[in-house]
Amino acid sequence: MSSDTTELAWFKSSYSGTQGDSCVEIAIAEQAVHVRDSKDLTRPPFAVDRERWAPFVRFVAEGTEA
C-alpha cells in the first residue's frame, strides 16, 4: 500500500460532532481505506485493507471481532 495520502479525497465521518470535536475523516483508495484525525493533521493516517474495512468498522462499533 502506498503511504502517500496527499492526493486523496477526505470525507468527515457522519458521527463527528458539529462543534469541531471528534473529527474522524476517511479517504477511500484503490487498495485501502485511510483514516485520520482532522484535528491533528501532523499525525499520519492509518490504512485498513478495503476487504477488512467492514469488519474493522463492526469491531469499532460493537467492540467485537468479525
What is the DSSP annotation of 5-64?
-TT---EE-TTS-TTS-S-EEEEE-SSEEEEEETT-TTSPPEEEEHHHHHHHHHHHHHSS
**2 lies in some domain:** no
**33 lies in some domain:** yes
**18 lies in some domain:** yes
**6 lies in some domain:** no
Domain total in the chain: 1
**39 lies in some domain:** yes
What is the pLDDT confidence band of residue 15, given thresholds at 50, 70 and 90? low
pLDDT value at position 1? Answer: 47
pLDDT single digits (tens) 20-59: 666 889 999 989 999 998 888 889 999 999 999 988 888 8
**42 lies in some domain:** yes
What is the pLDDT confidence band of residue 2, given thresholds at 50, 70 and 90? very low
Residues of the domain holding 55 = 11-62
